[in-house]
Amino acid sequence: MTEHQDETRAAYDGVVELYASLFADRLETRPFARAMLGAFAELVRDTGNVRTADVGCGPGHLTAMLHGLGLDASGFDLSPAMVDHARRAHPVLRFDEARMEALPVEDGALGGVLSHYSMIHTPPGELPALLAEQVRVLAPGGLLLVSFFGTEGSEPVRFDHKVAPAYSWPADRFAGLLTGAGFVEVARLLHDPVSERGFLDAHLLVRLP
């Protein structure tokens, strides 16, 4: 595990209850994010393989939402405290501690992967290996929905996230990484943020050929 992963894990371990209370109902005020999650779930169901991983699941609220949308959803997170919370909050679902670049999932097993603002703490140079892992676990035709902070310009921007250092990305640059990993873009949505940071909220939906 790298130094930045140790720091990120420790930071999220220390804010579990606060984080869970702030984000449990957050999508009720985020219609665009809800729409993209709904489209993702429908397209995964259409593949016939509803097994889905919520990577960087945090307290498990979106894993539960995917379950409610008809997917066989499991959650994975770097933070053991987040995993413990998710298991208590959603006892009928499966949650495991795991790194996004080393998922305990067999090759080609999944119809979908959700990464909802969970790749934002990964340094740009490490993202290709992380994306390659999502390719490994997805079946042909499987879908990946990545949400992140969008920014102008041509380069990712490091900023002081409230929990741990993070990166915002130009949507075209992130989309290029996804296509370079082997994905085909299905849809993208950029919209004004609810937060005070001033970044766009960005969602990219891609599919394996």
Residue segments in the chain with a per-residue pLDDT below the cut of 50 = none
Task: State the pLDDT at residue 8.
Answer: 76
Task: State the pLDDT at residue 164.
Answer: 73
Task: State the pLDDT at residue 2.
Answer: 72
Task: State the pLDDT at residue 1.
Answer: 59
Task: State the pLDDT at residue 196.
Answer: 65
Q: Rounded to an integer, what distance in angstroms lies between the CA atom of residue 36 and that of residue 54?
A: 14
Task: State the pLDDT at residue 24.
Answer: 65
Task: State the pLDDT at residue 17.
Answer: 75
DSSP string computed for 171-205: HHHHHHHHHHTT-EEEEEEEE--SSTT-PEEEEEE
Question: pLDDT tens for residues 52-70?
Answer: 999 999 999 999 999 999 9
Sign of the alpha-carbon dihedral angle for 79, 52, 63, 164: positive
Domain count, the chain: 1
Q: Could you tell me the residue range of the domain that residue 199 belongs to?
A: 3-207
Q: Kindly report the pTM of this predicted structure.
A: 0.93
Question: pLDDT tens for residues 156-174?
Answer: 999 887 767 889 999 999 9
Task: State the pLDDT at residue 19.
Answer: 66
Task: State the pLDDT at residue 161.
Answer: 76
Residue 82, domain CATH: 3.40.50.150
Q: Rounded to an integer, what distance in angstroms lies between the CA atom of residue 111 and that of residue 18?
A: 32
Contact 207, 183 (CB under 8 A): yes
13: its two tokens? 């371990």
Q: Rounded to an integer, what distance in angstroms lies between the CA atom of residue 102 and that of residue 130?
A: 8
Residues recorded for the chain? 209
Range 56-69 burial, b when 16+ CB lie within 10 A, else e: bbbbbbbbbbbbeb
Q: Rounded to an integer, what distance in angstroms lies between the CA atom of residue 19 and that of residue 1?
A: 23
Amino acid 42 reads E
Contact 95, 60 (CB under 8 A): yes
DSSP string computed for 81-119: HHHHHHHHH-TTSEEEE-BTTB-S--TT-EEEEEEES-S
